[in-house]
């Protein structure tokens, strides 16, 4: 997509989001406009976690969209805010699923999961990594929220530095610096 098409799409998404308060069914019109971006985010995660079947990616997107839909009471300001909420929702779903798998491994019985049980089934042990990264990100967020946001956007959202700069309304150089510092911080934290 070219830059003008992306701006037009963002404008339409923002328009729908602003009318969402008056007409909640607008959310149904929003999905087709943001679907591909959400699929890209989900595919990034599936690739990182060692799984790739399309159905699983689709399921993750639909679960994230349902999660966003359930939070309709919270105002979503614009398409940038919606993208941020999307990758945060996908992160939460992935972490929740990893926790459920870990609980099941520890004999917790039938763990209730929001995604199909076969999601990430081909990536044994990866749920441990996801949980360790999630916990480290929580510690980083307490120390430096913007750096944590950069890591979440890059790791869970699959966004590039330029895109993250737009999402966080900061410079590309700031995002790059935050990424480097956060990576160093996380390496030390994860080794400890």
pLDDT tens digits, one per residue of 90-139: 888 888 877 877 777 765 554 443 433 333 333 444 678 878 888 999 99
- The C-alpha atoms of residue 87 and residue 156 are separated, in whole angstroms, by 6
Structurally, the chain folds into a number of domains equal to: 1
Closest among 70, 55, 86, 74 to 156, alpha carbons compared: 86
Percent of the chain with pLDDT over 90: 21
Q: Is residue 182 scored above 90 in pLDDT?
A: yes
Question: What confidence score (pLDDT) does residue 50 get?
Answer: 52
Confidence of residue 46 (pLDDT cuts 50, 70, 90): low
Higher-confidence position of 105 and 33? 33
DSSP 70-134: HTTTSPP-SHHHHHHHHHHHHHHHHHHHHHHHHHHHTT--S---SS-TTTTTTSTTHHHHHHHHH
pTM, rounded to two decimals: 0.67
Q: At what angle do helices 126-143 and 172-191 cross, to 10 degrees?
A: 120
Question: What confidence score (pLDDT) does residue 146 get?
Answer: 95
Average pLDDT, the chain: 76
Token output for 38? 């959400």
Q: Say if CB 60 and CB 119 are below 8 A apart.
A: yes
Confidence of residue 180 (pLDDT cuts 50, 70, 90): very high
pLDDT tens digits, one per residue of 157-178: 888 999 999 989 999 999 999 9
Question: What confidence score (pLDDT) does residue 60 get?
Answer: 81
Give the residue numbers spanning the domain of 100. Answer: 3-191
Question: What confidence score (pLDDT) does residue 149 get?
Answer: 92
C-alpha angle 66-71-77 in degrees, rounded to nearest 5: 110
Q: Is residue 56 scored above 80 in pLDDT?
A: no
Question: What confidence score (pLDDT) does residue 28 get?
Answer: 73
């Amino acid at each position: 997509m070219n830059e003008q098409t992306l701006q037009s799409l963002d404008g339409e998404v923002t328009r729908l989001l602003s009318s969402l308060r008056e007409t909640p069914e607008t959310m149904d019109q929003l999905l087709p406009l943001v679907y591909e971006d959400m699929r890209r985010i989900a595919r990034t995660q599936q690739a990182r976690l060692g799984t790739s079947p399309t159905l699983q990616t689709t399921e993750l997107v639909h679960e994230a969209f349902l999660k966003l839909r359930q939070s309709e009471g919270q105002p979503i300001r614009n398409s940038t805010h919606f993208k941020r909420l999307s990758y945060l929702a996908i992160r939460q779903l992935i972490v929740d699923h990893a926790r459920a798998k870990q609980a099941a491994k520890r004999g917790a019985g039938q763990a209730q999961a929001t995604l199909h049980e076969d999601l990430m089934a081909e990536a044994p042990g990866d749920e441990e990594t996801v949980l360790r990264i999630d916990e480290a990100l929580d510690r980083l967020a307490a120390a430096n929220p913007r750096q944590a946001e950069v890591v979440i956007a890059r790791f869970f959202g699959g966004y590039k530095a330029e895109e993250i700069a737009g999402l966080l309304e900061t410079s590309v150089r700031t995002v790059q610096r935050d990424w480097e510092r956060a990576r160093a911080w996380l390496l030390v934290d994860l080794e400890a």
